[in-house]
Amino acid sequence: MKFRAGVTLIALCCAASEARGQEEGIGPAPSEARAVVARALQAMGGREAVAALQVAVMSVDPAGGELRERHTLVVPRRLMHYGSRRPSGAGFDVVLGGQGGFLCDRDKEGRATYVEDLAPDDVLEGGYERDVLFMPLLLHGLLDQRARMDYRGRNTAGEEVVRALIEAPAGGEGRPFTIRLRFDAKTGLLAAAMGVVPWGQDKGKKRYCEYHDYAPVEGGSGIMLPTRLADQRGSDEHPRTFRVRWTIDPKLPPDLFARPEVSERE
């Protein structure tokens, strides 16, 4: 099962031994890696400003008016709501966070017509995709004293490369995974995240997500976020590029993350 928002958001399944193996060789973050991450956060508007952000909504501009995509992330817990709507208004939602998740189909009036709890392995794979997509907003966590990173030097483009271990959200279940982060040589901003898909249908494929065209976000206290993303799975595939719009700390519906009751059919 896959959900697309210009990116493939969730591919379901897992492999435990892969994640454990990725942790090997990464220890407490050296000063070089911390300096690179700190510079990126400063370029985004400052570590404190990024860390203070509670909710980020990423809306994907539809291609040809086909689908409307909306990702809502409660940043501290990495609780995510993903909504996809066709022009008729019908579509589906996926909720990930805490110790579980679910899928919900909705009709054109927005009523729930089907709800399915996701298996733990499905939630794990979805969490990997969520974290890659929102990686710029997770950088401040890498400056925690317990964070594990290493500095890989500069690549041929002059970008600085850091390898980081991304831990599960606080209070939630999950497994850590390793990813390489590339930082722009001139601006210091996060340019790309690269890794190998650790679980699911695409397990073993190289995974790339690039972050382009950073711009100040309205209502974001000076925070800059990417407004164009490029997503790619496998070296033989072409990246999918899409524009995004951000809303910072909006008031969310109280039932956004609640498991809905299925409406009775008339």
CA distances from 169 to 150, 175, 183 (A): 21, 9, 24
> For tokens 């009751």, what's the residue?
261
> For tokens 């407490």, what's the residue?
28
pTM beyond 0.75, yes or no = yes
User: How many structural domains is the chain composed of?
Assistant: 1
Residue 44 contacts residue 136 (beta carbons within 8 Å): yes
3 state SS for 179-241: EEEEECCCCCCEEEEEEECCCCCCCCCEEEEEEEEEEECCCCCCCEEEEEEEEEECCCCCCEE
Kindly state whether residue 131 falls inside one of the protein's structural domains: yes
Kindly state whether residue 198 falls inside one of the protein's structural domains: yes
Integer Cα distance of 194 and 192 in angstroms = 7
Name the residue range of residue 70's domain. Answer: 2-12+23-248
| Domain CATH code at residue 99 | 2.50.20
Check residue 235 and give its pLDDT. 75
Integer Cα distance of 252 and 191 in angstroms = 30
Check residue 157 and give its pLDDT. 93
Residue 93 neighbours by CB under 8 Å, 6+ apart: 81, 82, 83, 84, 103, 104, 106
Kindly state whether residue 254 falls inside one of the protein's structural domains: no
Integer Cα distance of 69 and 60 in angstroms = 5
Angle (CA) 40-44-47 rounded to 5° is: 75
Check residue 5 and give its pLDDT. 40
Check residue 232 and give its pLDDT. 86
pLDDT tens-place values along the chain, 266 residues long? 344 343 334 333 233 333 333 444 566 668 899 999 999 999 999 999 999 999 999 999 766 567 889 999 999 999 999 999 998 999 999 999 766 799 999 999 999 999 999 887 788 788 888 999 999 999 999 999 888 999 999 999 999 999 999 988 876 666 788 999 999 999 999 999 998 878 777 788 888 999 999 999 987 678 999 999 998 887 777 788 999 999 999 999 999 999 998 866 54
Check residue 97 and give its pLDDT. 77
Check residue 220 and give its pLDDT. 66
Nearest to 138 by CA among 126, 124, 128: 128
Phi (first) and psi of residue 81, to 5 degrees:
-120, 125
Check residue 138 and give its pLDDT. 95
Residue 17 neighbours by CB under 8 Å, 6+ apart: none
Check residue 14 and give its pLDDT. 30
Paired with 97 in beta bridges are 100
Kindly state whether residue 56 falls inside one of the protein's structural domains: yes
Kindly state whether residue 235 falls inside one of the protein's structural domains: yes
Residue 225 contacts residue 246 (beta carbons within 8 Å): yes
Kindly state whether residue 243 falls inside one of the protein's structural domains: yes
Kindly state whether residue 256 falls inside one of the protein's structural domains: no
Kindly state whether residue 101 falls inside one of the protein's structural domains: yes
Integer Cα distance of 77 and 97 in angstroms = 7
Q: Residue 143 corresponds to which amino acid? A: L
- If phi > 0 it is left, if psi is from -120 to 50 it is alpha, else beta; for residue 103 that is beta
